[in-house]
Amino acid sequence: MAKLLTVVGVLFALHMASSSKLVCHMTNWAQYRPSNAKFTPENIDPFLCTHIIYSLASINSFNQISAIEWNDEQQYSRLQTLKKVNPELQTLLSVGGTVYGVSPFIAMVSTPESRSAFIKSAIRYLRTHSFDGLNLAWEYPAHNGSPEQDRTRFTLLIQELSKAFENEARENRKTQLLLSASVAANLATIDRAYEVENISSHLDFINVLTFDFHGHWEAATGHNSPLYHSSSDFGSYVHHNINSSVSYWLQLGAPAEKLLLGFPTYGRTFRLAGAANGLGAPSTGAADAGPYTRTAGFWSYYEICEFISSATVEWISEQDVPYATYGSAWVGYDDRRSFSSKVQWLTASGLGGAHVWTLDLDDFTGSFCSTGSYPLINHLRMSMGFGPKPTTTPAPTTTRDPLADFCRGRPDGLYENVSDKGSYFQCFQGITYLHRCQPGLVYWDSCKCCNWP
């Protein structure tokens, strides 16, 4: 018998997808943010994502993986305890960054011996700290002081890691470690940095960094993570968007099922130069740093929530993303509506799922945006077709409720509740779930979302 379940909060979704991965990054520097913005592994919902990538570890002068923060190993342990709550959760350690402005990958990949030392170190380190895999975050081979030969050396590193992971699992009768990489979205960078077909076949999944397409380093406003190009784009900028980037990875031979679309939980800000305040308006740098992230040109979603409470919000219909302005400040960001559009796109493209940068930039406590904890990522999860989380509890009933059978025989998806406009049904595997809109909002079946009456 189907069960009628109740969940409180604003939840939005469009078409359900069959993508299997929702990979969420967390950063070890978010622990230093003030007040409610401080983030530690205890803030993670263990059922929110399928994989969590801990950022960031580095590589020392002996070609060994090394921790960066003083308490990284303590944080590893606290992260792994989440698996006791959700045994299906998988964790990866991301390695990258720079040492004195130079990527440690450059020296490490330079010889077979140095790569071998790193690989042995990686296996030992991952097993010691109970990680399920390794994520390579090199920005980028053959760039920023990295010689052209590093394009091929990066391929060799991935091939050698994959083979070593396979051998180690067989010899020790353990589950094989996962191997992923975070890769560029800019077309020119892709051409110079990667032998796409050669690396794709050896990676379990590929995190395409489909954000930072525009930012305060430019002289005009542009969106951080647009789905498509706009009429204000020119020259190579017509390719600074998700559609162009991911399509190019596919064109070069990357399997769609291994590509994960990047979803940012932050926006990029600009300082307007004059009265013009639309897309492509002249700008003179970054808006003021946010009070919690304290980084010029960069606001977390929870900081954006506070900004848009008094700002003017506009939708860029060409690119399926929003921006907001107040005074001379301009921010291009993502919301639940734009996430829904991107989920539709990744579903139509047959991609393997999504990766989120980051957990700690969403409103993880629910104290800023008044829409519950992790409003963006929870919406992304639901939009991708994942079932309700185990924390959902059955509504008490003493007699059979006819609504409990609403989803029997219906396809998975969202449906209006004609008897209560402030709620709606989610059908998942024949089970009926009742979701309630935020007070004052009603469900609109035309957009599969909660909105004002």
Specify whether 113 is catalytic: no
- DSSP letters along 126-149, please? HHHTT-SEEEEE-S-TTSTT--TT
Instruction: Give 181's contacts (C-beta < 8 A, 6+ positions apart).
Output: 135, 136, 137, 138, 158, 199, 203, 206, 207
Query: Torsions phi, psi of 344, nearest 5?
Result: -55, -45
**Rounded to whole angstroms, how far apart are CA atoms 417 and 415?**
7
Tokens of 436: 């309630």
β-sheet bridge partners, residue 326? 329
Instruction: Give 171's contacts (C-beta < 8 A, 6+ positions apart).
Output: none
Q: In whole angstroms, how far apart are CA 348 and each of 15, 16, 205, 310?
A: 10, 11, 18, 36
β-sheet bridge partners, residue 266? 300
Q: Are strands 321-326 and 329-332 parallel, antiparallel or unpaired?
A: antiparallel
In the DSSP assignment, the letter for residue 170 is H
- Comparing CA positions, the residue from 7, 18, 19, 16 lying closest to residue 260 is 19
**Rounded to whole angstroms, how far apart are CA atoms 91 and 96?**
17
In the DSSP assignment, the letter for residue 417 is -
Q: Output the CA torsion 322→13→24→42 (10° steps).
A: 110
Q: Which listed residue (69, 88, 139, 171) is catalytic?
A: 139
Q: In whole angstroms, how far apart are CA 121 and each of 62, 322, 371?
A: 10, 44, 43
Q: In what order do the strands lie in the sheet with 393-394?
A: 393-394, 5-8, 431-436, 423-428, 413-416
Tokens of 382: 């639901």
β-sheet bridge partners, residue 330? 270, 325
* 359 and 26 Cβ atoms separated by less than 8 Å: yes
338 sits in which H/E element:
helix 336-348
SS3 92: strand
What positions carry a catalytic annotation?
A: 139
